[in-house]
């Protein structure tokens, strides 16, 4: 996986979209269904990656960013 600051704008936008969708699905599985689908460590890695991408590309922060939500 490339460092966030080494990605192109297009790569970062694509990854941010995928992370938003994936993290939201994991939030629902964990908080609403009480059925986590990944480990806490893996989830935390995805959140950290999302944050790193947003810091490197603040103009690409999405309205549905997991950074703007708590829980599900």
Assess whether pLDDT exceeds 80 at residue 31.
yes
Between CA 65 and CA 29 the distance in angstroms is 17
Q: How confident is the model at residue 72 (pLDDT cuts 50, 70, 90)?
A: low
Both tokens of 35, joined, read 């059925």
Domain ranges of the chain: 10-31+39-61
pLDDT given for residue 47 in this prediction: 97
Cα 51 to Cα 33, 34, 35, distances in angstroms: 25, 25, 25
Q: What share of the chain is helix, strand, coil (3-state, %, to 5)?
A: 70, 0, 30
């Amino acid at each position: 996986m490339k460092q966030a600051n080494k990605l192109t704008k297009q790569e970062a936008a694509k990854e941010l979209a995928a992370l938003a969708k994936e993290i939201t699905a994991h939030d629902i599985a964990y908080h609403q269904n009480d059925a986590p689908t990944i480990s806490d460590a893996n989830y935390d890695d995805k959140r950290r990656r999302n944050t790193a991408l947003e810091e490197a590309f603040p103009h690409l922060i999405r309205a549905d960013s997991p950074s703007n939500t708590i829980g599900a």
